[in-house]
Structure 1
């Protein structure tokens, strides 16, 4: 998530609030895992859906600048939590000495880590875990102001530095925001903040993101992160929190995909957002006209629920859907269509074409007969990508974000991964895992270097995975910022 004040670094989390490696050979690579869960929303009225849709569009546009010596490497996996029927996904990190666990939104569309502070007296901070700097013996106050603005609100405070652990890895001096000012609606319990997973170039703090320090240091088996997200959209049996999938650091989980990973490089010298070029889109079997150059660039964003794009292309997508109409009022920029229609839409980013399921395209059911589509028209700033591709697409693929060479890859979900969709199960809570060693983040603003050793940790074996599970839970919340 990147602040509005930092337009060139496209880094705002789009918030959909729904009531809404080897340094040396090893005989057996070690993997660490965490479970994901999700919470199901109560049925909403058309007016409530309209308010949500309007806020979601505004949040995305604001986020993307609407002008109106190393130890042996390892890998770690976390089981994710899906909140409020695919609205958002969040995970957990442990911070400080002694370490305390916090739930944070996982956002590949921004690059800062921040938490609500224990000194926050605003209503947004009620009922969530807040960071108390006085309780950590390793915390250092940077005495530097920090602020970030999203379409759904603002967060402000100061920068600090402390030990941050995640998925069996630890960075000894991670810089993050400690915010005593948080707007209402910016955080939804149990989420305490946000973890940005994009590049340092768009970090409001100027600090190296946690993932980039680990990837650049050689701490991981492979310099990449991967996501598998579950689907509970329009599932009447879904509860507010359900199993959400898997987030992997330093490797891919071969049990969750089949075939090859189709990688496409990020444009040269564009390491900011995880950018891809939209090469083709089809709607009901017909090709959609896609502009060339910067107008075809898309940010692949786990922190955004739906898919936003240029008005003309979005209108063409719906023109192929019988009886589809442009929304009005709070649904301006969106489209409605008969729920009985099965919609077939595909997207490609220079390689293979990927289908978006009808279940994901049908973002909301407004009444018995009418549904709202997941593609909406979007206006971004001059330095922002024209397309923002969120979880509507990502739930249909195994997605990989590779540091070097900088690229994004997609693969076909395995039967094991698909079997997790719609399956109600216990939701893991934020927990703390011990770290065997730590990485020291030596990078300063504008650089991407780091030194140190990686850490390895194994705890429980995941029930649905042939992996070891780390006692930290990543949750993908239904909240987009």
Structure 2
């Protein structure tokens, strides 16, 4: 769910999906990788109609996010534990804002660049029920910038004003971070316990024009050990008894966590002049060993987007991919763009980027998005038309990212992938409590009856 021309599709799933980010750690005195634990929510039991509604919400929010179809502290590194919500639908971490610092859960989204929080004085009782909200009057360091702020998503919009205050994240603090204080929000845009969203893209695609927090830290000399951030995401999509919120993995800022991957990190540069989204050129795509033809150059640019659940791509490429899966069929009408295939078919997709020789595999568990009826399942790749927008042709979300250790490096600008370690993969499907914020007091929850 993200800003029209400037954000990547944050899987905001109508009334079914909630976007959330997770707990930020307290500042560490030593330069160890600080980690943010991610949390995930359990998979709801849905009717066939609800499943198709969810699919439409995913597709439409991605289109809208990309405009398709319509500091600080000493040199160090930090972490934030993530929360996995709704069986891999979204991953959230936590920040702390204001003085005294209050903690909030936010979606961590490499597909957009704005930070915003729901305010305590603008949401209706039904909208704010169970959602911690930001109270500007409770912070002694908050400044109202008297500048309107708005952002649109496929499933709604958020509006308010820009403010400036101290924000802590993954063990770091920016004392004058600009962010949106949202007083108007569409129904179902937020789901408890998520209070907002933190964009982790570059400033050039920021709706507000503000420098993203991560970029302010990266550009502050001597603050981070390395100008990068990294994600390890868990998988619960195939766990029937998963809870609404589960441990979601780890976010690191300023350093990588060597216990979560093996071998080398395969960095591929962002194409020259494309720093905005985290762009990679998709240069190889196979399904069950059969190659899918791809256009060269910018026609195969892809945004690597932690805020998107699925993988969207050009119609001809997606059709060619499913043509290699016996029994697959294109859905029509309201569900156009998606494909079904026999659930008992094992599907292995690989993706290759830039000049790399490595073909990264996507597990069958991640490709199989959901069963809609009988032996009919929907795949995690769907058709997306971004022509006429500033968005790239491909949007690559968590369907792929759960299968790799992903690194986003600011300088030199690149995206890197590495093979997950046994330590990382052992977290998949391991039920447990959601991580708790370790910075700031827990925000007050307001809401209706």
> So what's the TM-score if we normalise by structure 1?
0.86
Q: Greater shift after overlay, 284-293 or 139-148?
A: 284-293
1:201 to 200, 204, 210: 204
Instruction: Tell me what 1:46 maps to.
Output: 48
- Of 263, 279, 294, the residue aligned with 1:290 is 294
- Alpha-carbon displacement from aligned partner over 1:267-289 (angstroms, at most 9, x marks no partner): 11111000000001001211101
Structure showing greater relative contact order (alpha-carbon pairs closer than 8 Å, 6 or more residues apart): 1
Distance 1:89 1:112 in 2: 17
Deviation digits for residues 73-109 of structure 1 (CA, Å, limit 9, x no counterpart): 1000111110110000011100000110000000000
> How far has the Cα of 1:43 moved from its partner?
1.5
Residue-pair matches, total: 427
Deviation at 1:12, TM superposition (A): 4.6
Go from structure 1 to structure 2 and tell me whether the alpha carbon gap of 1:17 and 1:240 turns closer, same or farther (over 3 Å shift).
farther
> Is the Cα–Cα contact under 8 Å of residues 10 and 272 in structure 1 kept in the other structure?
no
Q: Please point out which of 241, 261, 267 is paired with 1:263.
A: 267
1:353 aligns with 2:359: yes
Q: Distance in 2 between matches of 1:249 and 1:235?
A: 29
> Quick check: 2:71–2:173 contact (8 Å CA) kept in 1?
no
1: distance between equivalents of 2:397 and 2:260?
A: 20
Which blocks of at least 5 consecutive residues in structure 2 are unaligned?
18-29, 444-449
TM-score (norm 2): 0.92
Q: Which residue of the partner structure matches residue 425 of structure 1?
A: 432
Q: Say whether residues 1:128 and 2:131 are aligned partners.
A: yes
Q: Which runs of 5+ in 1 are unaligned?
A: 21-27, 435-470, 473-481
C-alpha displacement at 1:346, in angstroms? 0.4
* Matched position secondary structure for 2:373: coil
Residues 196-235 of structure 1 mapped to structure 2, 5 A cutoff:
196-218=199-221, 219-235=223-239
Distance 1:107 1:71, change over 3 A: closer
Match of 1:13 among 10, 16, 24: 10
Residue 140 of structure 1 contacts residue 160 of structure 1 at CA under 8 Å; is this kept in 2?
yes
Establish whether residue 279 from structure 1 lines up as the match of residue 283 from structure 2: yes
Q: Tell me which residue corresponds to 2:245.
A: 241
1:70 and 1:2 map into 2 onto residues whose CA distance is 28
1:39–1:240: 8 Å Cα contact kept in structure 2?
yes
Distance 1:18 1:348 in 2: 34
Shift of 1:18: 7.8
Q: Which residue of 2 is the match for residue 329 of structure 1?
A: 333
Secondary structure of the equivalent of 1:314?
helix
Q: Which residue of 2 aligns with 1:440?
A: none
- Match of residue 147 from structure 2: 144
Residue 399 of structure 1: aligned partner: 406
Q: CA deviation at 1:210?
A: 0.4
- CA distance in 1 between counterparts of 2:406 and 2:288 reads 24
Name 1:366's counterpart in structure 2: 372
Q: How much has 1:179 moved relative to structure 2?
A: 0.7
Q: Distance in 1 between matches of 2:44 and 2:151?
A: 30
Query: Distance between the aligned counterparts of 1:68 and 1:389, measured in 2?
Result: 20
